[in-house]
Each structure stands twice: as structure tokens, then as C-alpha cells.
Amino acid sequence: MVKLAFGGLGDSFSVGSLKAYLSEFIATLLFVFAGVGSAIAYGKLTSDAALDPAGLVAVAVAHALALFVGVAIAANISGGHLNPAVTFGLAIGGNITILTGIFYWIAQCLGSIVACLLLKFVTSESIPTHGVASGMNGLEGVIMEIVITFALVYTVYATAADPKRGSLGTIAPIAIGFIVGANILAAGPFSGGSMNPARSFGPAVVSGDYSQIWIYWVGPLVGGGLAGLIYGDIFIGSYSGASTEDYP
């Protein structure tokens, strides 16, 4: 069953928690800067041509490498979530309190916004936003995002949050980066392959285009929540209590 714990202000405003929020802000900023920057660079090099297979691979690799580094540099401080859907999925399994998770969300979204503002300032280019492909509707986009985010958060649980992970914990950032890259290759031409509300939110804020942002909150949060419920409840079974230090 769901193991949500609300938490207290004392824990959420402890020195360790404040450091965790700053870590999430910085790591998400660096991830989004590289991810969105790769899309801007592709547009610059191709005079805004439509995304081709080589461009898709380049963008997927950029996201995979950036997330690998982001998770690795934040893991020992905040757990290296970099993603509200990951935070939500871990909250469902009792790994982080709701209150602390909300502050994680704020830090992640602010990191994404600042990254996009910096990109807009230094490149003078428009910030590309996520949106479903022509011929797809919002529901289809949500389902795509549910599936790929489920895969991401399930991987996070299996390699980083599971107390029985053993040596898998040492390769968790690589596995997490790989699944994101693979999912972008699969879903990029359809839903954009976000898996991350913060990754989509920053570009939407800076560009002023909120027309499809709901897809990239609903889909990833549902997918992340399902992964947390299934892996946390069925495979892990129980946790002793919610703590930001439980993951990884």
C-alpha cells in the first residue's frame, strides 16, 4: 500500500534538507541546460530543420549523459532526483516525506527555469518546448509519458532505492541515464520523451507556451507514482520510515 508520510517543518528545514534543495537546484539546472541546449544547438546547426534520426540520437545522448552526471553529483547530498516524478514515486514508497518532496519540486522547477533563462540569454534563441507530434492527441501523449516515466522510476527503485540493490547501487546513475536516453529515442518523435515535469516546465515558463504542459505533469506523475507503488509495495515490501536520506 501507499506509504505517504507528511513530515514536519523541523526535518524539512534542517541544514541537511536545505543543502539537499540547493543540490537539486544545481543538478537540475545543469541537466536542463545540457538537455535543452542540445536541442537549441541542433536547431542552430540545421537552420531549424525538422528533427532527423541523427539529431534524435544526439539529443538523447546529451540527456542521458547530463542526467548520469546530474544524478552522480547530487546522489550523496539529495539523492539525485532531478525530477518531480522521481520525487513523487519515491514519496509513494515512503522514501521521502510529502513536505520535503514539495520543496524538492520547487528547487527542481526553479533550476529548470534558471537553466532556460541562461540559455535564452547566451544564445538569443527561442527555447523549444515539449509537445505531442502531429496526429497525436493529449491522451495519447499522456499514456506515452506514463509508460516511459514508469520505466525511469522503476529503474531508480531497482538500482538506487531498493535496500537489496547490492553492487547495482554503484551503477545507478549510469542505468538511470541509459533508460532516459533509450526512452527519448523511443518517444522523442511522439511525445518528446520528457519523463520529467521540471524538464518541460522550465521551457514552458521561459517561452510563455503552456498549451500542452499539463501532459508533462499528468503523465510523468502517474507513471512515477505507479512505479513507486508497484516496486515499493510488491518488491521492497516495507520501509522503516520516510527520510530524504533513504535514497539512494
DSSP string covering 162-187: -TT-GGGGGGHHHHHHHHHHHHHHHH
Q: What is the reported pLDDT for 168?
A: 75
Residue among 204, 72, 185 nearest 127 (CA): 204
Q: State the pLDDT at residue 1.
A: 61
Distance, first Cα to last Cα, the chain:
21
The pTM (predicted TM-score) of the whole model is 0.93
H-type helices in the chain, by residue range? 9-12, 15-45, 53-74, 84-92, 98-123, 138-156, 172-187, 197-207, 215-230
Residue segments in the chain with a per-residue pLDDT below the cut of 70: 1-2, 238-248
Residue 135 has a pLDDT of 92
Taking only Cα atoms into account, the Rg of the chain, rounded to an integer number of angstroms, comes to 17
Residue 88 CA neighbour count, 13 Å, CB half: 24
Gap between the Cα atoms of 131 and 100, Å rounded: 30
Does the N-terminal peptide bond of residue 128 adopt cis geometry, omega within 30 degrees of 0?
A: no
- Say what the pLDDT of residue 2 is: 65
Looking at residue 132, what is its pLDDT? 97
pLDDT at 166: 82
CA distances in angstroms from 192 to 3, 4, 99, listed in the order given: 31, 30, 30
Q: Which three cell numbers stand for residue 141?
A: 501523449
**Which pLDDT does position 165 carry in this prediction?**
84
Grid look-up 524539512 returns 12
